[in-house]
Structure 1
Amino acid sequence: MTTSLTLTPGRRPDGAAVLTVVGEIDMSNAGDLDKAITSVDEPVVVDLTAVEYLDSAGLSVLFRHTDRVELVATPLLAPVLTISGLAELVTVHGLGAG
């Protein structure tokens, strides 16, 4: 069964490419996330603020793209991003309490 995931490409007001991710990222849909990131021909801000779950398959996708992604997340994802080491390899906004 595929987990619900919505991937919406766009641009921030400053012109940076952004990929807004909504739902749960797991083994059933991590390939879709990979394709969405790969389809952007420039560095991309991956907005994870509406992601409720991120498993190792999703982390693997993000690790593959550390050279070209910047993340926006919430404290909910802080443990998995920090413990995995991903937060030390890419810029992650929004993990702090303030």
Structure 2
Amino acid sequence: MTPELTLTTGPGPDGAVVLTASGEIDMSNAETFAGALTRAVADAAGARLVVDLTAVEYLDSAGLAALFAQADHIELRTGPLLAPLLEISGLSDLTTVHQL
């Protein structure tokens, strides 16, 4: 069974807005993820927006496309599982990636 995607938005300890995703991001839920990203960018209103992907177990091209669409407005937080994907895709060249 595929882990359900959960998304939460809240303030980070440093004043940034943090959108936290957990589970899997694939073509079945990428539209939901993209919508959450768009809303978080609007809600951040110029503040830093950090997308925390440390609890994401799988990210396919549909999820990457959602991240690329907002690359100018976000920073990413990831663990060792997704870091190579963000590097190979070129996303790490477009936005700041914090690897934990």
Percent of aligned pairs with the same amino acid: 62
Paired AA for residue 12 in structure 2: R
Q: d(CA) in 1 for partners of 2:67 and 2:81?
A: 17
Q: d(CA) in 1 for partners of 2:59 and 2:3?
A: 11
- What is the TM-score with the length of structure 1 in the denominator? 0.90
List aligned pairs for 1:63-74, cutoff 5 A. 63-74=68-79
| Shift in Å, 1:27 | 0.2
Find the residue that maps to 2:82 and give its secondary structure: helix
- What is the TM-score with the length of structure 2 in the denominator? 0.88
In structure 1, runs of 5+ residues without a counterpart are: none
List aligned pairs for 1:66-85, cutoff 5 A. 66-85=71-90
Paired AA for residue 29 in structure 2: N
Q: RMSD value over aligned CA atoms?
A: 1.7
> For residue 10 of structure 1, what is the aligned residue in structure 2?
10
Q: d(CA) in 1 for partners of 2:9 and 2:79?
A: 19
> For residue 58 of structure 2, what is the aligned residue in structure 1?
53
In structure 2, runs of 5+ residues without a counterpart are: none
Whether the 8 Å contact between 1:63 and 1:86 is mirrored in structure 2 is yes
| Shift in Å, 1:3 | 5.7
